[in-house]
Amino acid sequence: MGDEQESEPVIGTGNQDELIMQQQRQIEREISESTALVGELEPIVSLNSEYSNDNVYLEKIKDLSSKYKHIRRTRPDGNCFFRAFTYAMIEQMLENSNELEQFIKLIECSKMGLLRLGFPEFTVDDFYETFMDVLKRVRDIKNVNDAKKELHTLFNEQGYSDYMVVYLRLLTSGHLQRDQEFYSCFIEGGRTVVDFCHQEVEPMYKESDHIHIMAACAALETGVRVVYMDRGSSKSNIEHDLPEGTAPSVHLLYRPGHYDILYL
């Protein structure tokens, strides 16, 4: 050991890329092991521990806690908007059986809409069937609290949860393509709406932006309020209702790059 010198490894571009990918996979594994796909209800003030030395965010949390009682965290894996949105929407519909039945009918019709747009049936089928299975399973549980427990269980089983996300991604893509003329003005870089859908909407782990939220709300005929909590100078958080003028059925907290569910 004494006189031996440890030579520094020479890393080519290919090796460097592989190391970066390995690090990314390790981070993803650590996130998966430490964070549930959909967490338990927590008081809003539980956010304080994340920002204990950050007065800007502590003020924002104080503002948030004046309007909301609880938060439900979702895994930060790029699917958080779609997972949070779908979960929160179904959860609140369990309180209203008529709303849930109307939603089930909407989803029943949605598969044919995707096929008419040219989505291959073999691609759509499994995701559609899983989405319908989850809806019917929670609908058939008469006790609301038990139905919510079942929803939580299913959304924390990777197979069910990810299939729910994929189907909502497909529905969002379908709506964007159906109304290309309107949405094309929101897409930069010379891409068509179809290109954008193939690259940014349909693939798993792709993060969501304003355009995804607008299209998802339109596809599912519902509204969402997104509360933006960032380092902006105001002590209050900015709120956006989408679509504008629609009473929100779902409330989400957005922190740069991530969505969680809020409860009044």
Catalytic residues: 77, 80, 258
Helix/strand/coil for 195:
helix
The dihedral over CA atoms of 141, 147, 152, 158, expressed in degrees to the nearest 10, equals: 20
Nearby residues of 187 by Cβ (< 8 Å), 6 or more positions away: 193, 196, 211
**Is residue 243 reached through a cis peptide bond, with omega within 30 degrees of 0 on the bond before it?**
yes
Measured between alpha carbons, how far is 53 from 46 in angstroms, rounded to an integer? 14
The neighbour count for residue 114, using CB atoms within 10 Å, is: 22
Task: Please say whether the beta carbons of 229 and 60 come within 8 A.
Answer: yes
Question: Tokens for 174?
Answer: 């379908």
- Return d(Cα 163, Cα 174) in angstroms, integer: 16
Q: Which residue carries 């990777």 as its tokens?
A: 158
Work out the widest C-alpha separation in the chain, in whole angstroms: 79
Token pair listed for 149: 């427990």
* CA torsion, ordered 123, 149, 89, 166, to nearest 10 deg: -20
- In whole angstroms, give the CA distance from residue 197 to residue 177: 8
